[in-house]
């Protein structure tokens, strides 16, 4: 939605016009997602087999006991707090040039498909990935080849 700017022939017309254009561009490009958030969202992959949905979440650098997985009200909630990666102890002190690895509190909420047996949901953490198995309720669905 374009921002309306009053029109007049005053000395600040060009500035007001530029500011309006800049606000329009910012709202169209969704610059708001660059602001500080309370929690970051880890990346996920979703897979489907003939018997279950498989969710894989990238949580490198964590221990299993730092990850909370819960099912509530038809949604899967995954929360935790990933520490900031630190150089090995044998390295001298460092200056930071770039930090792209998310750390700190995270949360991800995923809707659970209606054909999932919620009492059989299982999670395991291996090699930096959290794997959540969402078994389907037995039914007449055709088999789907596993990847």
pTM of the model: 0.66
CATH code, 37-135: 2.60.40.790
Q: State how far the Cα of 34 lies from the Cα of 42, in Å rounded to an integer.
A: 16
Other residues' Cβ atoms within 10 Å of the Cβ of residue 63: 10
- Give the residue with greater pLDDT, 77 vs 39: 77
Tens of pLDDT along 58-91? 999 999 999 999 999 999 999 999 999 988 888 8
Question: Is 80 exceeded by the pLDDT of residue 107?
Answer: yes
Other residues' Cβ atoms within 10 Å of the Cβ of residue 42: 20
Across 95-106, average pLDDT: 90
- Highest mean pLDDT of the ranges 36-45, 94-103, 121-130: 121-130
Q: DSSP secondary structure string, 28-84?
A: HHTGGGGS--SSB---EEEEE-SSEEEEEEE-TT--GGGEEEEEETTEEEEEEEEPP
3-state helix, strand, coil in the chain (%, to 5): 20, 35, 50
Across 86-104, average pLDDT: 86
């Amino acid at each position: 939605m374009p921002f309306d700017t009053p029109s007049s022939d005053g000395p600040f017309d060009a500035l007001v016009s530029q500011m309006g254009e800049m606000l329009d561009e910012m709202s169209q490009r969704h610059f708001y997602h660059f602001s500080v958030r309370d929690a970051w969202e880890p990346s996920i992959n979703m897979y489907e087999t003939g018997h279950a949905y498989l969710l894989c979440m990238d949580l490198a650098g964590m221990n299993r006991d730092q990850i909370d997985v819960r099912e509530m009200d038809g949604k899967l909630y995954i929360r935790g707090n990933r520490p900031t990666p630190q150089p090995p102890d044998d390295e001298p002190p460092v200056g930071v040039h770039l930090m792209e690895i998310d750390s700190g509190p995270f949360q991800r909420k995923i809707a659970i498909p209606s054909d999932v047996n919620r009492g059989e949901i299982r999670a395991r953490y291996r090699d930096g990935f959290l794997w959540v198995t969402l078994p389907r309720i037995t039914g007449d669905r055709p088999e789907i080849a596993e990847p």
